[in-house]
Structures are given as structure tokens and as C-alpha cells.
Amino acid sequence: MTADSAFKDDRKLSYLNSDGADKPLKSPVPATTLERARHYRLQRLRNQLAQSDCAALLLYDPINIRYAFDCSNMQVWTLHNPMRYALILADGPAMMFEFKGCLHQSACLPGIDELRTARSWMFMASGDKTDAARDAWADEIADLVREHGGGNHRVACDTLTGDGVHALAARGLEYVEGTAITEIARSIKSADEIDLMRWTLRVCEAGMARIYAHSVPGVTERELWAHLHFENARSGGDWLETKLLTCGDHTNPWYQECSDRVCEAGELIAFDTDMIGPYGYCADVSRAWTCGDTPMTATQRRLYDTALEQIHHNLELVTPGRDFADFNARSWRIPEAHIPYRYSLAVHGVGMADEWPVIPLHVDWGDGAMSGHFEPGMVVCVESLIAEAGSESVKLETQVLVTETGCERLDSFPFE
């Protein structure tokens, strides 16, 4: 907390440690909650696998692996280096193929029936021996499917490259696009998952309070963004997906990343957390406020009130059973002056990262908009971005659980 914090909003500062000590937050979530969530998630994948009539699900996306087994080993690195994977047999074992030397990372996880060392065949690791390495990998996968598949040769895969698809096909396996399986499985959260997500949001809001406490003239955008990283890392979280914190004229157009730009008194500071926090869950929340906690100008207040109107209007429409097309038809209409600066979506799913579904803003709704409806257990983010020619941008976003009767906000950090 800075020396200038005496005039700050105590509602926001309350998200720091309640005893006033600057130390990591410790999760109060019981171990049994995580155990039940792990079982639920793996069963969700198995259920979708059965509905898709597939013998196996082959996962390379580390977020899908985290969902299936709660393995968190080298997730960011393996997002671009496919060197570990999971194979879940519909009527057989759930297997984790871990990076060489890392089997101990997954040894005690209850959903894993068998641990093996992964066979890497990416060029960086295999060079001119890539073809032989790929063939050895494909032989092992094919042998397991033949052993446990009961004659079913359909294998669902999430992010498998073309060479891998062809290698499996050469061994008599049928490739099935597995992304729909994992996205649909992940879309409905259990009560235990919601408890884990609530804790991620608690850590995120402590990081937001740190940003707020340090939002003083002379600070840089990168310095402010580092406070969210810091709180997340020390309190058991993973990473931030983006670098969306800007101030003043750097907020418009949106999607500029934080920089060494110095924030000045009275400028708007706007950010989008995109935080993968404790337990692997995402806290995707946006806020905007003035540097130095100064009163908003008339223009800033008008933009902010407009954004808040959009949030509140669309929140009322997030109800179980409501069709996405009906949501679009009834959604808040963005005024003409703000359309060129708009956010491209109104609502999106969230879990261990941004997820299905994505509902475009009414301006961008068309034949390509996905069908579907809100279901109890979904968690979605309701978004707003309001700006106009020559103005700053106001970015707001709230994360909500779809319930049996409506929706419940999971974040509680105050709006202005």
C-alpha cells in the first residue's frame, strides 16, 4: 500500500489481507472439495466420450490435461511444446504420459490409472529423427486403443497436428475432432468447482486492490500490471493470459498491451485480468478508475455510466434456458457513437480459461453466431467496452454463475 492511500476507497482496499499484513492469501477450501472436483471433471469427459462413440480421448492442450487430471506441470511451456499428453480410454484406463523425469509430478493424482514417459516427436526434440519418433508414438497409441477399445477405432483429439493425425490413420485409427467434447464437458461446473473458482476470484481481487492502491501519478502501466502477477504467483496461481492494462489515451483503441507509459492524475486506468489463478481456474474481470482516485470528468462519468448500463441490462438476460439468439435479440443496444470502438462480444464462457460459448455483440450477430442456451452450472463473463472518438475507454466485465433461477455474480470488487 502506498503513502497516498489515505484518500483511497476503503471498499477496494478491503480486498487486501484483512489483518493488514502484506502476505500471501491462504486457501480455506478443504482438500475434499478438490478431490470431488477432480472426480467430477474426469467423469464429465468420460460421459462426453461415450456420447461421441469414441474409444479414446487424446489430450495435448495442458488446460484440458489440468481439467482431466489436475496435472499442472509446465503448462505454459507445453502450450507451444507438445511434449506431454493424456489418453483416456472410454472402457479402459486413464493414462498420463509425462515429460521425461517428471513422472513424480503426477504420481499421487487419483484420476490417473497409469503413468508413462511421453514420447516426443516435435522437431525441436527429434530433429532428423522426427519420423521415427512419431512412428513409435503412434504405435504405442494404436496398441492401447486396440487393447482397450473393444473394436472401436475412433479417437477424439484436441490439438493434434497433421502429422500425428496421419500417423494414427495409417494404423487404422479414425480421427475425431475432440474440441467439442472438452468444451462441452468443461462448460457445466459442479458446486465444488464453483468453490475453487470463488477462491481464484478472491486472489484476483486482492491483486486488483494492489493495483488500485498503487494507482498514483507517476506509476507506469507495467508497474501496475505487475501487482496482479505478484499476488497471483505468491498466492498459488499460475499466469496471466494477456497484458491488458492501459491508461489515458492508451486505452483507446482497446487491446493495446501495458507499456512504460506513465499514468497521470485524472487519467482513466482500465484493465482486464485474464488471470489463471489457484486450482487452475480463471478470474476474468475488468474495471476502470481514475489515476490518483480523482473525481471523474463529465465525459469519463458518461462513458462509465453507459458501460455499467450495458453490464446491468445484459446480466438480467443471463437466465437458465434462454437461447443465445433470444439473448441477442433482447440485449443492450450500443449507441451509434460507440460502435466503431466496441468490444466484439457480449458474453463468453469461462472455467479454467475462456471457454465455450461466445455470444457476439448484437452489431456482430450473424449467420455464424453459435446456437445454444444458458444452463445451470455454466459460468460466463458479461462484458462492456465503451469509448468514442478522441475519448478514453471504459472496460467493465463481471463473472457470473448461471443458477436454476437466474445468475449470481461471483466477483464482488466494487464498480465506481
Dump pLDDT digits (tens) for 300-322. Answer: 999 999 999 999 999 999 999 99
CATH architecture of 188-409: Alpha-Beta Complex (3.90)
3-state SS of 202-267 is: HHHHHHHHHHHHCCCCCCEHHHHHHHHHHHHHHCCCCEECCCCEEEHHHHCCCCCCCCCCECCCCC
Dump pLDDT digits (tens) for 20-48. Answer: 678 999 999 999 999 999 999 999 999 99
pLDDT tier at 299, thresholds 50, 70, 90: very high
CA angle centred on 261, ends 255 and 262, rounded to 5°: 130
Q: Do 202 and 186 meet the contact criterion of CB atoms below 8 Å apart?
A: no
List the one residue out of 241, 280, 400, 273 whose CA is nearest residue 27: 280
Q: Is there a shared CATH topology between the 53-177 domain and the 188-409 domain?
A: no
- Name the DSSP letter for residue 277: -
Which SS3 state, helix, strand or coil, does residue 114 take?
strand
List the one residue out of 326, 251, 336 whose CA is nearest residue 347: 326
The Cβ-side half-sphere exposure at 283, using a 13 Å CA radius, reads 33
Query: Pairing state of beta strands 245-247 and 268-272?
Result: antiparallel
* DSSP H stretches of helix in 149-220: 162-169, 179-187, 191-213
Exposure b/e, 33-60, CB count within 10 A at least 16 = b: bbebbbeebbebbbebbeebebbbbbbb
pLDDT tier at 6, thresholds 50, 70, 90: very low
Instruction: State how far the Cα of 62 lies from the Cα of 79, in Å rounded to an integer.
Output: 6
Of the chain, the percentage scoring pLDDT greater than 70 comes to: 98
pLDDT tier at 326, thresholds 50, 70, 90: very high
Dump pLDDT digits (tens) for 84-122. Answer: 999 999 999 999 999 999 999 899 899 999 999 999 999
The DSSP code sequence of 322-384 is: -BHHHHHHHSPPPPGGGGGG--SEEEEEESSSEEEEEEE-GGG-STTSPP-B--TT-EEEEEE
Class of domain 53-177: alpha beta
pTM value is: 0.95
Q: Exposure of 389 by Cβ count < 10 A (0-12 exposed, 13-18 middle, 19+ buried)?
A: exposed
Q: Determine the pLDDT at residue 3.
A: 39
Sorted by where each begins, the domain ranges of the chain are 53-177, 188-409
